[in-house]
Amino acid sequence: MAEERHICALLRQGCGGCPLLETPYPEQLRQKQARVEALLGEFGPVSPILGMEHPWHYRNKAISTFCTGPGRRLDSGIYAAGTHRVVPVASCLLHHPALDEAVEAVRRAARLCRYEPYQEDRGTGLVRHVLVRHSRATGRVLVALVTAAPVLPGARAFVSKVRELCPQVETIVQNINPRRSSAVLGPREKVLWGRGYIEDTLCGVRFRLGASSFYQINPEQTEVLYRTALDGAGLDGTQTVVDAYCGVGTIGLAAAGRARRVLGVEFNPSAARCAAQNARANGAGNARFLCADATAYLQGMAARGERADVVFLDPPRAGSTPEFLGAVDRMGPERIVYISCNPETQRRDLRLLAGRGWKARLLQPVDLFPHTEHVECVAVLAKIRGGGM
C-alpha cells in the first residue's frame, strides 16, 4: 500500500472531515481490519481488508457552503466539526481535482454577479451551497448552485463565466431550497444549461447522475466492493436475484448480466424511477425496479410462496430489520449477500440470521473512505443444512 504522506492545513482549522489523515494509510487499514474482526469475527474468519493503492483524490462529489470571507468577500468551504462555522476550502486531498476547479469557478462567477451568501439564522441572502459531481468515465462535471430563492439574477452571466473558467463543466442546474434547515438540497430544480445530468460508468453499467442522485463517492473502490459481492453470490446466469434497498439500481444492474432475472425494490420514489431509467438506458430487459417498502414487499413474496436464488441487501447505517430478515429467510435463497456501511448494525443482523441457521461463507471488509473511520463489509451467507428457525 502507498506510504505517501500529505499535510493538510484544514485539519488545524477544525475541518474534521478526515480524522485519520495523519495516520499512515497501512495503519488505518490495520485499525479497520481489527475493528471488523472484533465486531464480526464471531461469525467466521475475516478476510484481509481491500484498500486503495493510491488513497487520495478519490471523491467524485463535493459540497461547498457559501460564507462571508475576509474583506466581506464571498467565499465557500465546509463546516468545522460540530459547528456551523464555515472553514474556507480552496482544495481538498480527497476531492478529484476537477471538483475543486469547478467550485473555484463558481465562487469567482458568484462574486462577479454580486451574490450574497445565505444567512441561516437571519433567513437573508441568496446562495447557500454548490454541489459538484465528477464522472470518471467522461471527465465531465455537474454543477448545482443551491439558492434560497427561485430567482437567480444574472443567471446567463453566471453560467457563461463558470463555463469560461471551467471547461470540464457539462451542465449547470439551480436547486431551490427555501427551508430553514441543514438539508443541502431543496425540492425544486431548474436546468440553467446543459442536460441537467452527467453520465458515469460503474461495473460496465452506465448511470445518469443528477444533483440529488445517490451514487457511491469512491467509484474505484465501489467496483471492488460490488465485484466482491457479485463473485460471492456465485451467479451463473440462471438465478433470480432480489436487490433490496436498491437505490438507483447500481448492484442490481451490475448483477443483471450474470443473472436470469433481477427484481429491485426501493422505497424512495425518485431513486426507484432512476433505477428503471437506468435499466432501460442499459438495455437490461431482465431487470425490473419498483417503488415499495422492502420489508412489506418481501413479506408478501414469502407469503405467496415466491422465492429468489440470491438476495442482495445494502441497507442504510441503521441496518435491516427482523421482519425483513425473517421474510428473506422464508423465501429460502441459496445465498444472502449483505453489504454494510456499518459493521455494528451488521453484527446485530448477522446474529439474527445465524439464529435462523445461516452461516457466513465470506466476510470481506473494503475501504471505501480512506482517512475516515468508515469501513464497508460484504457478508456472503448460506443456509446450514438442518439449521433451526
Is 69 in contact with 88 (CB distance < 8 Å)? yes
Is 16 in contact with 81 (CB distance < 8 Å)? yes
Residues placed in the known binding site: 216, 245, 266, 314
Rounded to the nearest angstrom, the gap between the alpha carbon of residue 191 and the centroid of all alpha carbons in its chain is 23
Rounded to the nearest angstrom, the gap between the alpha carbon of residue 384 and the centroid of all alpha carbons in its chain is 33
C-alpha distances (whole Å) from 161 to each of 118, 154, 175 are 21, 11, 19
Residues placed in the known binding site for S-adenosyl-L-methionine: 216, 245, 266, 314
CA–CA gap between residue 251 and residue 388 (Å, rounded)? 30
Catalytic residue among 92, 166, 246, 341: 341
Is 253 in contact with 284 (CB distance < 8 Å)? yes
377 is catalytic: no
Is 169 in contact with 162 (CB distance < 8 Å)? yes
**Residue 265, C-alpha cell as written in the block:** 425494490
The closest of 374, 376, 375, 371 to 19, measured between CA atoms, is 371
The closest of 208, 205, 249, 254 to 228, measured between CA atoms, is 254
The closest of 371, 368, 373 to 5, measured between CA atoms, is 371
Task: Tell me the catalytic residues.
Answer: 341
